[in-house]
Structure 1
Amino acid sequence: MSPATSHPSLSARAAEVPRASRQDGAYPRPQLLRAAWQNLDGVWAFRVDDDGVGDADGWPDGFDTDQQIVVPFPPESPASGIAHDGFHPVVWYSRTISPEDLRNAGYDADRPRVLLHFGAVDYRAEVWIDGRRAGSHEGGHTPFTLDVTELVRSGGPHLLVVRAEDDPHDMTQPRGKQDWHEDAHAIWYRRTTGIWQTVWLEAVPSISIEHVSWLPAGHTAVELRVRLRGVAPAGTRLSVALDFDESGEDLGQLDVDVPAGARRIRVDVPLARQHNGQAEDELTWSPEHPRLVDATIVLSDGDCGDTIASYLGVRTVGTRRGAFLLNGSPYDVRSVLNQGFWPESHLAAPSPEALRREVELIKDLGFTACRIHQKVEDPRFLYWADRLGLLVWGEAPAAYEFAPIAVHRLTREWMEAVDRDISHPSIVTWVPFNESWGIQHVADDPAQQAYSRALSDLTRALDPSRPVISNDGWEQQNTDLLTVHDYEGDGAALAHTYADGAARKRILDRLAPSGRMQLVGGASDAGQPVMLTEFGGIGFQPAGERADGWGYTTAADDEDWLARIRSLYEATRASDLLAGTCYTQLTDTMQETNGLLTAERTPKVPIADLRRAITGKG
């Protein structure tokens, strides 16, 4: 198959690209859209390789199997059609790429390069096409892309084979809440092996836009960073047009020459009507007003080029005098811990629609934020958080052993996660560590202290626009927020702990509620905002639900449960110290029955009653 010879104009290409702020939530990369792409999810051939013989036996060329799997659901999950809960450290997948797949991906004379995208494969992936190696990737929560142009030029069909390796006993692999025991125990859950986010094809021009990022540039502009796939030839130009989602108003345009040989472009795009700040309130993004700005970016070289659609939110976040700031003003963060785990599909969302519904449920409960816990969430969830208005904590999945290889692996994967998600206005805080997982002796180990400080500072170097929590919960060093985990079940006791400034001194000078020090490594109180980022966790199982689950405390019935939640929230609202809270947790998750919703996302009591208890408002 050779590319078709049509040459539609760049303006026609731009007209084909959907408006990024109003997409339907199916596109796997919501802030860099092209008109054509081909989803490869669905039924694939599947085979486990417990003896590790696949390479030697020629499986990259194809393998015999009578099993099928539904991608992108992990083989441990019922939705995959496999539902193998045991240890299977190596698994193989295959499917055919047809000529129609390539056409649907946009393969033609103007777009002669074919890219194969994987949203996430846990933990290590190797890929072949027709037995020829296409590439590999390590890191279970971040995307990767392979240029497979030379492997599909012959037309097809082509056999795509993927080998995924995920050692359940390797504690240096960043894994988050995935259990290393065969059965889920305590606060850890079933594993997610192999492909668990969308696989898709896309055709692009010879020189194309690989990545875009948007960051605040003062009050009158936004900074655009563009990374190219390939080297810009002489005469290449970059054109950017911004328009306001709500009104369609032209907000700014920029047209610049790209230096020959450039691979990266960095420009400030001015925002119309923002010179003196009078119109800021009409443009800024917040949970109450999730305004988005659409962007069209064209990379052109004569008659050919690349056109993509993107979007951004104009907002700032920061801290000052013990307050968390959103757009320069104190903002009371009311958050919920979200494991992002579904009983039928584990870490993979059961559908794109389920991601939208997750954001809607969180907002319906009265929350303004969520902490995605120990997971780099599907980008389509972040799209709905951007569009519907929800603050998000971005958190790294932990490894559980401190070793040089663990440092290398987590640092690389975390850098990829920050790079992927840096442009989402919903993300307002980065969390590289949680509860000293992977740095268990950070209280007195200089090497672990150096690692914690370094990863926090590296995060700031990659993104200076957001606060960084060095180690959520306790044992913090150079942190922008002082975050505490406290599962006290009595509202009166909680109210006393966080009453006022004197309570701040008690928390920092003594052992924290966790029994650990709040500050370590010589760190001192710098006046950071204090947040209660895990609390509640009250176990309750409605009639007919499982009887063997647990919570940090347990309610007798629905009235007792709701009264306990109300009492805890009254305590936090009475505090003169707390700048925000995060309730544990949104849903029941496997053996944990401390969710506000069941594992199937059903409220345990009427959602209006929960909202009143959480917000204190009718």
Structure 2
Amino acid sequence: MSTVRPEYPRPHFDRSHAWLSLNGTWDFSRDPDGWGEHVVVPFAWETQASGLQAHWLEWGWYRREITAPDDWSGQRIVLHFGAVHHIATVSVNGTPVGEHEGGSTPFEFDITDALDAEGRGTLVVRVHAPLDKREIVHGKQRSIPRDVYDVCAFTPSSGIWQSVWLEARPATYLADVALRPSAELDAIEATVSITGATGATGSAGSPHSPGSVRLTATVAGEQPVTVEVTDPTRPLSFRLPITAPRLWSPADPHLYEVTVTLESTDGTDRVGAATGLRSVQTDGDQILLNGERLYVRGVLDQGYWPRTGITAPDDQAFVTDLEAARAAGFNLVRKHLKLEDPRFLYHADRLGMLVWAEPASTGIFTPAAVARFEAQIEPMVRRDGNHPSVVIWGLYNEEWGLDWDVPGDPAKQEATRRAYEMLKDLDASRPAVDDSGWSHVATDLVDWHIYDEYPDGWAAKVRTLLADGKPGFPVPIGPGVLVEKVLMADGRPAPAVPNLNSEFGGGLTSVERGWNLRWQTLELRRYDGLSGYVWTELYDIEHETAGIYAFDRTAKDDGGNPPSETNAVTVAIPDVTPLAPGCDFVAADGAVEFDVRISHHGSEPVEVTVVPVWGPALQPYTAAQGFGSEVGSGRSAKVRPFRLSEPLRISERIPSGVDVARLHLVLVCAGEVVGHTSVDAATRPVGRTAIDGNPAAR
């Protein structure tokens, strides 16, 4: 029965030695009086994979039989839910066992006493998924009445959408294991919480005598650390030294496996966890990873799949997306407005992909909406804080749930500040963003979102923000509606913290998107003080066609602009104002002349030679074209990390007999190709250039 998503769902708190998956086919009803349908868990009931495809259904009832394994006798039987949207009311054998509100956060109920003597029971889950989602956390799910951001919302995802399972544990058990690297990166700082007969909840039995509770923590390959628990009602903190520390990084994503064992008169509980030794800090306008400057080359990932909605079809789907992001040259994924399935972060940790994590949004500003938004913060940090891949915490996004009016309302500013302070009190080891994109109040990073369909318009907006120091920028929020958004809600200059773009993109067709990705990204690389960017987005979703990949994750036509080259460590930036795909500039007499600068984000200086190689328009450079003896005629520059080089002059002629051709700028270092940029030249206006004219080089 349990053949759907069979992997253990909670690798960050692993009790897989005593678990039983409940995923699979359940009975389903749209009212409490009938059970004529079936649903496949854990897929939202709107999805094809669920077997229902029930849209705008507010209530649903799930039912299935459960039986605890015989060898769990004497243990407490606990029912776990990864996430259910939005309110779940649970009963076993007709006995209510609990209720949970919040469509993204995990929850559990001890159902031992509701099972019969043989450990069997009928499990019923009633789910309420309001059509009006504006006051609840729902992220990109569409609402009726609709959110102000409905244009970029998707099909709702209601009901059970993450795994359901049973676990067995003693009456006194490990409730939480928080792992953080020490400041010196030579140890793991652990904080363990204990609950049960001796813990704060007093759920069963009588208190144990002092010294009867013992905790042992072991890092693989290191000596165990044993602690006598004198007061199990309080979290216990201790240090796990590492003999020869090996730092976690994208280049070497080394993880330390930690096993924590709790022994009491109730029995033995054991969980596994993992973390990495790494630091992420801000220093002035820089982000530092393990003390070295980090330049974010990020991509937006909204966590949707064909047929299965916000639930990955299988565990491999997370790996596929992470590898697709890396293949496109990105080093960070911004998981947008969604507390993703924990398996995603597990794979990000082991594959070395950086993650910007953030909770789901509400739609309007009311006391109830703010309370529900804030209720996600502690579970987010508790569930995901062990993951070294998470290097940035996000909170609000573009004033969603704040009525697009943070600058004009002190109450909204206070809500933004309070969310930031709540997060930092829970975890000060990572930078946090209070309101991504617009109107910051208290933040460790100043980020901003600018969209423009054309690179020249984009460049002008970026220039006024980064070069001219303008405190805001124009944002189109609807047809014919343009508003000026400020970086800081109170209008003051941005603080001396890292500055980065965290959403951008342009172009309607896939060719236009590839062209914009090239030019808009290169424009950002002109500014040495910038800490990075996040391109929108990794793949198409429903009506959105902004992805580098299609919704099914297949490659799209990028017009010969491979994203991996644009997102490379070393790139060439032509001083050209681009006109249109296939015609970046017009050279009526065939003469092509412009300057090019080199941007290098490696750890050491390099000497780079720019070698021009002609090829067919819209075709990528291939090694078969070669550069051989042409290297000797190339222009060279010594380039320091994160410092734009001095301009190098490129003087060429369009090959005879063609009207349009692509000039590849091949970057060579020590005989190896380390980067590649291209420009398309035409002898007459093509496409949009026929209207816009023939602008000169920058």
* Same structural fold, with TM-score higher than 0.5 when normalized by the shorter chain: yes
Structure-2 change in CA distance of 1:443 and 1:182 (3 Å): closer
Indicate if the aligned counterparts of 1:495 and 1:575 stay in contact, CA closer than 8 A: no
Give, in angstroms, the shift of residue 593 of structure 1.
0.5
Give, in angstroms, the shift of residue 509 of structure 1.
2.6
Amino acid at match of 1:92: W
Give, in angstroms, the shift of residue 415 of structure 1.
1.9
SS state at 2:521 partner: helix
- Are 1:70 and 2:40 counterparts? yes
Give, in angstroms, the shift of residue 302 of structure 1.
6.4
Alignment partner, residue 659 of structure 2: none
Structure-2 change in CA distance of 1:423 and 1:508 (3 Å): farther
Give, in angstroms, the shift of residue 25 of structure 1.
9.1
Give, in angstroms, the shift of residue 170 of structure 1.
3.8
Give, in angstroms, the shift of residue 511 of structure 1.
3.7
Amino acid at match of 1:330: R
- Are 1:38 and 2:5 counterparts? no
Indicate if the aligned counterparts of 1:237 and 1:258 stay in contact, CA closer than 8 A: yes
- Counterparts of 1:207-218 in structure 2, within 5 Å, are 207-218=172-183
- Counterparts of 1:246-261 in structure 2, within 5 Å, are 250-261=221-232
Alignment partner, residue 645 of structure 2: none
Indicate if the aligned counterparts of 1:398 and 1:434 stay in contact, CA closer than 8 A: yes
- Are 1:165 and 2:146 counterparts? no
Alignment partner, residue 88 of structure 1: 57
- Counterparts of 1:44-55 in structure 2, within 5 Å, are 44-49=26-31, 54=32
Amino acid at match of 2:192: V
Match among 513, 516, 519 for residue 567 of structure 1: 519
SS state at 1:433 partner: strand
- Counterparts of 1:11-410 in structure 2, within 5 Å, are 26-34=7-15, 35-49=17-31, 54=32, 63-85=33-55, 87-98=56-67, 101-103=68-70, 107-109=72-74, 112-181=75-144, 186-219=151-184, 220-230=186-196, 231=198, 233=208, 234=210, 235-243=212-220, 250-273=221-244, 283-301=246-264, 304-410=267-373
SS state at 2:215 partner: strand
Q: Distance in 2 between matches of 1:32 and 1:404?
A: 33
Indicate if the aligned counterparts of 2:465 and 2:472 stay in contact, CA closer than 8 A: no
Instruction: Report the identity percentage.
Output: 33
Structure-2 change in CA distance of 1:182 and 1:354 (3 Å): farther
Give, in angstroms, the shift of residue 260 of structure 1.
4.2
Indicate if the aligned counterparts of 2:471 and 2:494 stay in contact, CA closer than 8 A: no
Match among 466, 470, 490 for residue 504 of structure 1: 466
- Please give the root-mean-square deviation of Cα atoms over the aligned residues, in Å: 2.3
Structure-2 change in CA distance of 1:254 and 1:524 (3 Å): farther
- Are 1:589 and 2:541 counterparts? yes
Alignment partner, residue 546 of structure 1: none
Structure-2 change in CA distance of 1:285 and 1:496 (3 Å): farther
Structure-2 change in CA distance of 1:304 and 1:181 (3 Å): closer
Alignment partner, residue 11 of structure 1: none
Q: Distance in 1 between matches of 2:393 and 2:275?
A: 18
Q: Distance in 2 between matches of 1:486 and 1:303?
A: 58
Indicate if the aligned counterparts of 2:218 and 2:259 stay in contact, CA closer than 8 A: yes
Q: Which stretch shifts more, 512-521 or 329-338?
A: 512-521
- Are 1:471 and 2:425 counterparts? no
Give, in angstroms, the shift of residue 46 of structure 1.
0.6
Structure number with greater CO (CA < 8 Å, separation at least 6) is: 1
Give, in angstroms, the shift of residue 518 of structure 1.
1.0
Give, in angstroms, the shift of residue 523 of structure 1.
4.9
SS state at 1:578 partner: coil
Q: Deviations over 1:331-350 (max 9, x none)?
A: 11111000101121111111
Q: Deviations over 1:436-475 (max 9, x none)?
A: 0011221110101000011001100011111110100011
Match among 413, 416, 420 for residue 449 of structure 1: 413
Q: Distance in 1 between matches of 2:300 and 2:409?
A: 29
Indicate if the aligned counterparts of 1:473 and 1:483 stay in contact, CA closer than 8 A: yes
Indicate if the aligned counterparts of 1:152 and 1:158 stay in contact, CA closer than 8 A: yes
Give, in angstroms, the shift of residue 507 of structure 1.
4.8
Amino acid at match of 1:47: S
Q: Deviations over 1:243-266 (max 9, x none)?
A: 2xxxxxx24531111114435212
Alignment partner, residue 491 of structure 1: 455
Q: Distance in 2 between matches of 1:388 and 1:154?
A: 45
Indicate if the aligned counterparts of 1:492 and 1:571 stay in contact, CA closer than 8 A: no
Q: Which stretch shifts more, 403-412 or 230-239?
A: 230-239
Q: Which stretch shifts more, 410-419 or 193-202?
A: 410-419
Amino acid at match of 1:270: P
Structure-2 change in CA distance of 1:269 and 1:153 (3 Å): farther
Indicate if the aligned counterparts of 1:47 and 1:92 stay in contact, CA closer than 8 A: yes
Q: Deviations over 1:111-162 (max 9, x none)?
A: x100100000001110000100010101000000101111125215310000
Higher-Rg structure is 2
Q: Distance in 1 between matches of 2:362 and 2:217?
A: 40
- Are 1:610 and 2:577 counterparts? no
Q: Distance in 1 between matches of 2:329 and 2:472?
A: 33
Q: Deviations over 1:510-563 (max 9, x none)?
A: 445562111113654221111110011x4xxxxxxxxxxxxxx323x63x5433
Structure-2 change in CA distance of 1:79 and 1:507 (3 Å): farther
Q: Distance in 2 between matches of 1:422 and 1:439?
A: 26
Q: Distance in 1 between matches of 2:454 and 2:528?
A: 18
Amino acid at match of 1:582: V
Q: Distance in 2 between matches of 1:74 and 1:494?
A: 38
Which has more strand, going by share of residues? 2
Amino acid at match of 1:237: R
Structure-2 change in CA distance of 1:77 and 1:25 (3 Å): closer
SS state at 2:486 partner: coil
Amino acid at match of 1:613: T
Amino acid at match of 1:223: E
Give, in angstroms, the shift of residue 36 of structure 1.
2.3
Give, in angstroms, the shift of residue 569 of structure 1.
2.0
User: What is the TM-score of this pair, normalised by structure 2?
Assistant: 0.74
Q: Which runs of 5+ in 2 are unaligned?
A: 200-207, 477-483, 572-674, 677-698
Q: Which stretch shifts more, 413-422 or 169-178?
A: 413-422
Indicate if the aligned counterparts of 2:501 and 2:532 stay in contact, CA closer than 8 A: yes
Give, in angstroms, the shift of residue 490 of structure 1.
3.2
Q: Which stretch shifts more, 73-82 or 508-517?
A: 508-517
Amino acid at match of 2:502: T
Indicate if the aligned counterparts of 1:508 and 1:518 stay in contact, CA closer than 8 A: no
Q: Distance in 1 between matches of 2:424 and 2:87?
A: 27
Give, in angstroms, the shift of residue 505 of structure 1.
6.3
